[in-house]
Amino acid sequence: MNETGSRDNVRTLEHYLQGTAPEIVKVYLAIAQSALRLSDELPFHTGMTGGVNPSGDQQAQLDIFSNDLFCDSLLASGVVGQVASEEMEQPRESGPLREHGLSVAMDPLDGSSNIATNNPLGSIFGIWRGPLPQPGRSLLASLFVTYGPTLTLTLTAGKKVAQFVAVRSGPHRGSYVLANDGMVLPDTPEVYGIGGERGKWTPRVEAFVQTLEKRGMKLRYGGTFIGDFNQVLKRGGLFAYPELTNKPHGKLRVLYESAPVGFLAELAGGASSDGRRSLLEVEPRALAETSPCYVGSRGLLRELQSAFVRA
């Protein structure tokens, strides 16, 4: 076997993570294996439950299935003391590890409203040490899963961003192999996606979006944070769920969504903001606290913050 971890120059997730803190590796591998199972189960859990999550969103069967799947695997890893989820009112905990073990905040199924239309779905994870809530600046690592034409993991352990693809056949079946290493978010913006009802955007959000339209950027918005951010990560641009007139603090949860993705964006050479500061500087006081979310190319985020200050 050669230095890439295989006889045919394929670099697997396990080999790539050599040198990463062992406890982070255990968390990543637990998520990776659970994502494979969730991907296989997607066709069999397409209904709604009739219940709602703590944020008031209707829960799909897959929301419950994915939440339980990831919670169980993370707590079984032996290094996670607390798992907080968009789908639960209170975290699930492993008592002896609560104070000094790892804590994981997650959106186990990002974009579940896309189930009925067969559009991409995702899962988002942030990893901290000690009990939550904590600011994004204290993140040790983050990862997101994309369930699309291929199953991919996009991750960082605090140095650079890499993307892995799940292999479904051949000698590496059941493994993840490196597809992109040292990903860099292009500074020349091509695409943008802005959430929320346009009629409820604040005047400064509306004004900034008009500047994006005038420069000819392409609109890409599919109703999944991860699906849309993937395009921004590859092509440059902006994803936002902004402040709204009826939701001045936006919709996306800091711990479950905004901070983990902002962490990845900044390590890929991009930027994140709540409109005036990095998303990593937001200090949530509650697990489900929300914030306006803007992530993308660094130059574009500088323009946005300058425009918001002047507005």
More confident position, 149 or 56: 149
pLDDT, position 54: 61
Q: What is the CA angle 103-107-109, rounded to 5?
A: 140
User: Is 306 a residue whose pLDDT tops 50?
Assistant: yes
Residues 6 or more apart whose Cβ sits within 8 Å of residue 61: 45, 46, 47, 48, 49
The structural domain count of the chain equals 2
- Which pLDDT belongs to residue 175? 94
pLDDT of residue 41: 85
Higher pLDDT, 62 or 155: 155
Q: Which of 290, 283, 295 is nearest to 226 (CA)?
A: 295
Whether pLDDT at 242 is above 60: yes
Please check whether residues 158 and 209 belong to one and the same domain: no
Asked if residue 35 has pLDDT above 80, the reply is yes
Of the candidates 186, 185, 237, 232, the one whose C-alpha atom is nearest the C-alpha of residue 211 is 237
CATH assignment of the domain containing 241: 3.40.190.80
pLDDT of residue 5: 44
Residue 51 has a pLDDT of: 55
293 lies in some domain: yes
Residues 73 and 203 in one domain: no
Residue 185 inside a domain? The answer is no
Mean pLDDT over each residue of the chain, to the nearest integer: 91
Tell me the per-residue pLDDT of 75-91, one tens digit each, with 9 for 90 and over.
Answer: 999 999 999 999 999 99
- The confidence score (pLDDT) of residue 99 equals 85
- What's the pLDDT tens digit per position in 273-300? 999 999 999 999 999 999 999 999 999 9
Q: What is the mean pLDDT of residues 183-197?
A: 95
pLDDT tens per residue across span 44-73: 655 544 455 566 565 678 888 999 999 999
Residue 24 has pLDDT above 90, yes or no: yes
Q: For residue 171, what pLDDT is reported?
A: 86
Cis peptide before 91 (omega within 30 of 0): no
Let me know whether 209 and 249 are in one domain: yes
CATH value at residue 71: 3.30.540.10
Tens of pLDDT, residues 90-138: 999 988 888 889 999 999 999 877 777 777 899 999 999 999 999 999 9
The secondary element (H helix, E strand) that includes residue 293 is strand 293-296
Same-domain check for residues 170 and 198 = no
User: Which structural domain range is residue 64 located in?
Assistant: 13-180
Q: Of the candidates 180, 205, 235, which is a domain's last residue?
A: 180
